[in-house]
Structure 1
Amino acid sequence: MSLRIKAVVDKFVQELKEALDADIQDRIMKEREMQSYIEEREREVAEREAAWKAELSRREAEIARQEARLKMEKENLEKEKSVLMGTASQDNQDGALEITVSGEKYRCLRFAKAKK
């Protein structure tokens, strides 16, 4: 009888060891799957972050180009204004009209109204 009990106990221990080994293997597989999933998600997040940073950099560069272009256009406008804006005076004894445009002086002794 004791041999029979020993055989039953040995069989139970063997089955328990097999079930335990199977459970351990299952947990190892689940942990690997979870680690793989985490790595994939981290990679996706890093790719999105890199794409976002590249887009941000592109937009910042475009803004810098537009700001430079606007600054240049403003400078050109200021130059045009200074060229177009002149001064006129008629303080001379001979009654001549003096016009100064871009540092150049022009004198007009006779002038007439513009025709419509």
Structure 2
Amino acid sequence: MSVRIKAVVDKFVKELKEALDADIQDRIMKEREMQSYIAEREREVAEREAAWKAELSRREAEIVRQEARLKIERENLEKEKSVLMGTASNQDNQDGALEITVSGEKYRCLRFSKAKK
């Protein structure tokens, strides 16, 4: 009887070990699959982040270029206005002279007269 019980117990222990080994192998496979999935998702996110940062950097560089171009255009416009129109300012001088600045050159007009018809 004890040989039979021992055989049943041995068989039970053997089946239990096989079941545990199968469960361990299944868990190891699932863990590997999960790690693989996580690594793939992290790679995808990193690629999207890198693409987003590159696009952001490109846009920031374009904004800087456009701001520089706008500044140059504004400076050129101011130069053109200065050349075309000159800047006049009525100085409250003792002699009442009118000062006009054209292209950085100052001119003073002391006397005004009407143009002849």
CA RMSD of the aligned region, Å?
4.7
**Distance in 2 of aligned mates of 1:12 and 1:91:** 116
Q: Deviations over 1:76-112 (max 9, x none)?
A: 0000000011368999999999987436799999999
Q: Bigger CA drift: 82-91 or 44-53?
A: 82-91
After TM superposition, give the deviation of residue 4 of structure 1 in Å.
0.9
* Identical pairs, percent: 94
**Distance in 2 of aligned mates of 1:54 and 1:93:** 64
Q: CA 1:114–1:69 in structure 2 vs 1: closer, same or farther (change >3 Å)?
A: farther
- Secondary structure of 1:110's counterpart equals coil
Unpaired runs of 5+ residues, structure 1, are none
Q: CA 1:92–1:24 in structure 2 vs 1: closer, same or farther (change >3 Å)?
A: closer
**Distance in 1 of aligned mates of 2:95 and 2:5:** 141
**Distance in 2 of aligned mates of 1:95 and 1:20:** 109
**Distance in 2 of aligned mates of 1:93 and 1:23:** 107
Q: Bigger CA drift: 37-46 or 90-99?
A: 90-99
Q: Bigger CA drift: 99-108 or 70-79?
A: 99-108
Q: Deviations over 1:19-46 (max 9, x none)?
A: 0000000000000111111111111111
Q: Bigger CA drift: 102-111 or 41-50?
A: 102-111
TM-score, normalised with respect to structure 2: 0.76
After TM superposition, give the deviation of residue 63 of structure 1 in Å.
0.1
Q: Bigger CA drift: 74-83 or 97-106?
A: 97-106
After TM superposition, give the deviation of residue 2 of structure 1 in Å.
1.1
Q: CA 1:102–1:45 in structure 2 vs 1: closer, same or farther (change >3 Å)?
A: same
Q: CA 1:111–1:63 in structure 2 vs 1: closer, same or farther (change >3 Å)?
A: same
**Distance in 1 of aligned mates of 2:99 and 2:74:** 29
